[in-house]
Amino acid sequence: MVVMTWAALIPLFPLIGFAILGGSGSKLSKGAAGFLASASVFISFLFSIAVFAQVLGSPVAAFKVQIFDWIQIGSYNLGFSFLFDRLSAVMLLVVTGVGFLIHVYSIGYMHEDNDFNRFFAYLNLFIFFMLLLVLGSNFLVLFAGWEGVGLCSYLLIGFWFSNNEYNAAARKAFVMNRIGDLAFLIALLLLFYNFNSLEFDVVFSQASSIGAGDQLLFIISILLFIGATGKSAQIPLFTWLPDAMAGPTPVSALIHAATMVTAGIYMVIRANVLFVLSPMTSEIIMWIGVATAFMAATIGLKQNDIKKVLAYSTVSQLGYMFVALGVGAYSTALFHVVMHAFFKALLFLGAGSVIHAMGGEQNIRFMGGLKGKLRITHITFLIATLAISGIPPLAGFFSKDEILAVTHSHSMVVFTLLAICSVFTAVYMFRLYWLVFHGNFRGSADQQSHLHESPMSMTFPLIVLAVLSTIGGFIGMPSIFHTPHYFNEYLMPMLNMQAHELSHSFEYMLIGVSIVALVIIVWGTYNYYVKNNNVPIDESEEKGLQKIIQGKYYIDELYESIIRTPLQKLSLFLHNIIDQGVIDRIINGSGLFTLSFAGVLRIIQSGSLGFYLFAMVIGIIVLIALSFFLLM
Amino acid sequence: MLTSLLIYFPIIGILFLTLLKEKNSKVVALGSSLLQLLLTAYAIASFQVNAGVQQMIDVWWIQSLGISFKAGLDGISLLMVLLTNFLMPLIILSSFHKTYPNTKLFYALILLMQSALVGVFTARDGFLFYVFWEMALIPIFLICYLWGGVNRLKITLKFFLYTLAGSLLMLLGFIYIYLKTPAPHSFDLDILYQTVLSSYEQEWLFLAFMIAFAIKIPIVPFHSWQPDTYTDAPSEGTMLLSGIMLKMGIYGIARFVIPMFPFGFDRYGELFMILCSAGVVYASFIAWIQKDFKRLIAYSSIAHVGIISAGLISQTHLGLQGAFFQMISHGVAVVGLFLIADILFNRKQTRMLDQLGGIAHHQKWFSVFFMIILLGSIAMPLTNGFVGEFLLLNGILQYNIWYAVLAGMSVIFGAVYMLQAYQKIMLGKEPEDDASLFKLHTNEKIVLTIISLVILLTGLFPQSLQALVEQDIFQLLSIKS
């Protein structure tokens, strides 16, 4: 396939962009740097469209392109190779498409930053690694991308590295990801040990001959899932994501909402064969997903930082996706990944536009009434809010509805919890929307005088994403609308899907109930926040349960006291007591003992170390000289 | 002929050094080491992958005792010689902007060490190996003693006696096997390999050799000389010790212990496996709370070589592949890290993490080099550190999954302490120092660039190095069975 050979260049363009930007430092003008970085991603996007067209035309095809031989593992030669199929094609479009928009947006957003070029270099590098992640045809290339995006995430969270709090947040993200990565790595070792290959097709075909419920597959799949909890911010490894908001807002949109954090979901879908064969893992995934969705949604209700609300919202939405994975609805999960990429990127970019206008202010207690000054931002943010809240016919409605529907046939408890989550989602989103765009302005007079709509480079991506958030959902409509579910049909050949046939009456009910509930929520929050001008109180004045939720259930503090502090104490103990105390003293002691014993013999020896050395050197030189002559 | 040339060439360099003026010593030393590297390149180019030991030199040395000057290159030896001769010019170059008192002696000792190291890695005679082994100790001892830090006497003496004690055990072992060889006795490696040893003999010989090597590497708990010595030695000494010299121990395990004492592994292998893999965690924990950057690298090095040794002790194809490859990765990365510590200390007279910070504001490329080397040392994919670590963990897992988990912990801990150190040194508020304080000298820039490139290139294309040793790994593993 000629197209596919060319497609192997897709990751190369952002890499070249990175090399030029990184290599030239600040010699390149900002305009040139921004253009170059965006253009490189755009070229990749065009190639991705070609790939998409190709896989659309050939239903089962998967094209593998080997770039070079990578590692010799035992007698097995692992190639650095890419896989183009229907799954990777979707991810390609999302990564390069949304990635391109966010590059364009960043040109405006980062305009005043001195490290403009470095920022774009990192963004390009991120796209490169993300493309490796989705294109890898074996677990090791995927893992390379997986760790690479983690590195870029680290670099970008701590982009403003003067601030040590940001640096700490970056480090936390990297380390928590690495905890998951260790599990991932061990899963890879076990896969190789048992299948003697890491190539997806080989591993999966061998695994499917094992049969469901096998203990080995359970262990491997659970380890892979632990890896996913790190990258995709699920319980227990989710606490880094809210802190990751320290990075510039376009980063939050691209990495910590639209693309990188969905890598865990992509990986599970890619390895769905292993998960289908491990019902127990799937069950665990479902429960972790719903617990995360629920917990994060409640925290989202009480946050006052605009980005923190969105961050917890992301954690919560990722939880939804894991629920879908847990019940085996892989296509549904990916559908939500794509829709979420549209509306959550839009929300973050909108938030960025707001923060930009507010001169860096992120606390919604000091915003309000921005709809007049930021028209485009306001409208697009509203569309995204409606989309995430699940109002038909916007993007989020169809994908979220589908998750609820597939969950219903699986577990009533999970279904109920997710339904409550949806209510929470709508509540915290409209709370955010009303407080930011309606009511009276609550910031300083200085801020008020500077309020302005963002430049074209920032509003253009908002508009595109708003359009996608509006119509994107039509690719996957439920059967009551008598249109084909294009997305499911597209992915069908890839996945071991169970059919999720629902009765039409249930679907009608689901749609009806969600609309009624949303109308009530919109009306209720409007009354509370706009009509009655209620503003959230300061964090320090919260009490009781509210305080606990506001404090994020104190999970960070818990980790600190049960993991970090004891380990630090252990380190001190090992260093001071064991290493310096016991081990070193035994060695020194035996040395002293020998010395004192040797004192008896010392009379016949000179006892001077220098002399011994001298003798030794002379001896050796003589030996060498001797051998040298012998050789001649 | 090529082999003996590789061994003697640095001696010729020393000869020139003594004849020429003091101020030329650096250039002469560098020139000598570069020519040596050229020779090594030639050796690799003319090396035939599946043809066993090549370029053999074999003459009687002390015939009455069955000692011969026998040396040659198989893939493993060649890889180790490459490591030595690649790092040597970098180490010498990194010192170019400094002037040590008694320059001539300083560089003469470094070259002497190079000769001894090549000897160690090419010797095919047990006694010759031992002689080179001890011969390598003397120059490094003198380097540490004459140009070291405040406590150099006490620290260097401890290092010297400790390793000497270990190597005496090894010598004892060699002599014992020698006496077991059919008369006339011989130290010839091929004859030693074929000597029949009872399981009891193998067990204690295993211990004798392993302890000698464990001290050199060092494996916890035989490591207590290492942090002090690394910290106190002049930077070039630390680089020689950590980059090349400790590999003598690892090489020794591969060359002698694995093929000769399979019963020793049955009895004590697991004990050492525990020491190595638990040592990884132990050293990482301690590295985490170090305040002196050089000491931190010292402990992190213990963790890294712990994984390498564990890979060898697993006696698996994968473990050995990983160990040989990781010796290169570790050598390159650790020299880079110690150079960074040296740069910090030279400019600011401190390596204390709390007294540094914000250097990235002024020195972008310095921060980039540091980051690449750091990524190599925490096994980020696409760096050489990952290739080695992945292979090693594969090998260890084949031995027992729990030791792989234990050793794999370094994936987490490495990130914890290295990123913490990076933040404290490079990130944070813009420092009040003069912006050009940490400006890199050209020689430092060259060394760091080369190291960074090697980390990335061998991470992407490891197979050229892997191919060198592939056949020998099978050989080593088949001798024992």
Shortest distance, CA A138 to any CA of chain B (angstroms): 14
Shortest distance, CA B5 to any CA of chain A (angstroms): 11
Shortest distance, CA A623 to any CA of chain B (angstroms): 9
Q: Which amino acid is at A492?
A: M
CA distance B23 to B374: 35
* A174–B415 C-beta distance less than 8 A: yes
Shortest distance, CA A136 to any CA of chain B (angstroms): 13
* B404–A186 C-beta distance less than 8 A: yes
Name which of B138, B380, B427 is nearest A158 (Cβ-Cβ): B427
pLDDT of residue A578: 86
CA distance A521 to A527: 10
Of A123, A104, A122, the C-alpha closest to A31 is A104
Both tokens of residue B464? 């050229």
Of B182-196, B331-345, B445-459, where does mean pLDDT reach its minimum? B182-196
Residues from chain B that touch A575, judged by Cβ atoms under 8 A, are 285-286, 289
Task: For Cα atoms B210, B216, B217, give the angle at the middle one, nearest 5 degrees.
Answer: 85
Q: How far is CA A102 from the centre of its chain?
A: 16
Nearest CA in chain B to A114: B361
Q: How far is CA A594 from the centre of its chain?
A: 59
Task: For Cα atoms B424, A181, A161, give the angle at the middle one, nearest 5 degrees.
Answer: 25
Q: Which residues contact B400 (CB under 8 A, 6 or more apart)?
A: B273
Peptide bond preceding B218: is omega within 30 degrees of 0, i.e. cis?
Answer: yes
CA distance B236 to B240: 6
Name which of B221, B289, B412 is nearest A571 (Cβ-Cβ): B289
Q: What is the pTM of this model?
A: 0.93
pLDDT lower than 50: segments of chain A: 603-604, 632
Concatenating the DSSP letter of every residue in B270-285 gives HHHHHHHHHHHHHHHH
Nearest CA in chain B to A158: B427
Shortest distance, CA A238 to any CA of chain B (angstroms): 16
Best probe of the B interface among A118, A149, A167, by most B CBs < 10 A, is: A167
Both tokens of residue A392? 């038909």
* B224–A579 C-beta distance less than 8 A: yes
Nearest CA in chain B to A25: B364
Size of interface A-B (CB pairs under 8 A): 162
Nearest CA in chain A to B380: A147
Q: What is the dihedral of CA B73, B74, B76, B79, to 10 degrees?
A: 50
**3-state SS, residue B204:** helix
Of A134, A111, A132, A130, the C-alpha closest to A122 is A130
Q: Backbone dihedral region of A58: left (phi > 0), alpha (psi from -120 to 50 degrees) or beta? A: beta
- A463, exposed or middle or buried, with CB in 10 Å at 0-12, 13-18, 19+? middle
Name which of B135, B162, B285 is nearest A570 (Cβ-Cβ): B285
Report whether pLDDT(B11) > 80.
Answer: yes
Of A465, A346, A329, A326, the C-alpha closest to A399 is A329
Model confidence pLDDT, tens digit, residues B361-419:
999 999 999 999 999 999 999 999 999 999 999 999 999 999 999 999 999 999 999 99
Q: Which residues contact A73 (CB under 8 A, 6 or more apart)?
A: A192, A198, B318, B321, B390, B391, B394
* A164–B423 C-beta distance less than 8 A: yes
Residues from chain B that touch A70, judged by Cβ atoms under 8 A, are 460, 462-463
Name which of B224, B285, B420 is nearest A171 (Cβ-Cβ): B420
Name which of B380, B419, B427 is nearest A161 (Cβ-Cβ): B427
Of B384, B379, B83, B410, the C-alpha closest to B239 is B83
* A73–B391 C-beta distance less than 8 A: yes
Shortest distance, CA A148 to any CA of chain B (angstroms): 7
Position B162 confidence tier, pLDDT thresholds 50, 70, 90: confident
Q: Using CA of residue A5, residue A6, residue A7, residue A13, what is the dihedral sign?
A: positive
* A190–B401 C-beta distance less than 8 A: yes
* B419–A174 C-beta distance less than 8 A: yes
- pLDDT-above-90 percentage for chain B: 80
pLDDT of residue A603: 46
Alpha helices in B96-151 (DSSP H): 103-122, 126-147
Q: Which residues pair with B67 in a beta bridge?
A: B62
Shortest distance, CA B292 to any CA of chain A (angstroms): 14
CA distance B214 to B222: 6
C-alpha dist (Å) from residue B355 to B15, B123, B344, B352: 44, 46, 11, 6
Shortest distance, CA B149 to any CA of chain A (angstroms): 19
* A189–B397 C-beta distance less than 8 A: yes
Position B90 confidence tier, pLDDT thresholds 50, 70, 90: very high
Model confidence pLDDT, tens digit, residues B183-227:
888 999 999 999 999 999 999 999 999 999 999 999 989 998 999
Helix or strand run (H / E) with residue A64:
strand A63-73
Looking at residue A443, what DSSP letter applies? S
Residues from chain A that touch B134, judged by Cβ atoms under 8 A, are 616, 620
Shortest distance, CA A322 to any CA of chain B (angstroms): 25
Q: Which residues contact A467 (CB under 8 A, 6 or more apart)?
A: none
* B467–A575 C-beta distance less than 8 A: no
Residues B298/B208, Cβ–Cβ less than 8 Å: no
Report whether pLDDT(B149) > 60.
Answer: yes
Looking at residue A180, what DSSP letter applies? H
Best probe of the A interface among B15, B229, B231, B286, by most A CBs < 10 A, is: B286
* B405–A70 C-beta distance less than 8 A: no
Name which of A74, A161, A630 is nearest B59 (Cβ-Cβ): A630
Half-sphere exposure of B134 (CA within 13 A, CB side): 24
Residues in chain A, how many? Answer: 632
* B59–A627 C-beta distance less than 8 A: yes
* A630–B134 C-beta distance less than 8 A: no
pLDDT of residue A135: 95
Residues A131/A145, Cβ–Cβ less than 8 Å: yes
Residues from chain A that touch B390, judged by Cβ atoms under 8 A, are 71, 73, 140, 185, 188
Shortest distance, CA B412 to any CA of chain A (angstroms): 6
Of A263-272, B48-57, B116-125, where does mean pLDDT reach its minimum? B48-57
Shortest distance, CA A178 to any CA of chain B (angstroms): 6
The end-to-end CA distance of chain B, in Å, is 33
Question: What b/e string do you get for A76-95 counting C-beta neighbours within 10 Å, with b at 16 or more?
Answer: eebbbbbbbbbbbbbbbbbb
* A140–B404 C-beta distance less than 8 A: no
Neighbours of A244 (CB within 10 A): 29
Best probe of the B interface among A178, A181, A614, by most B CBs < 10 A, is: A178
Q: Which residues pair with A73 in a beta bridge?
A: A76
Shortest distance, CA B178 to any CA of chain A (angstroms): 20
Residues from chain A that touch B358, judged by Cβ atoms under 8 A, are 162
Name which of A161, A185, A584 is nearest B224 (Cβ-Cβ): A584
Residues from chain B that touch A630, judged by Cβ atoms under 8 A, are 59-61, 69
Name which of A167, A193, A631 is nearest B427 (Cβ-Cβ): A167
Q: Which residues pair with A391 in a beta bridge?
A: none
Nearest CA in chain B to A614: B138
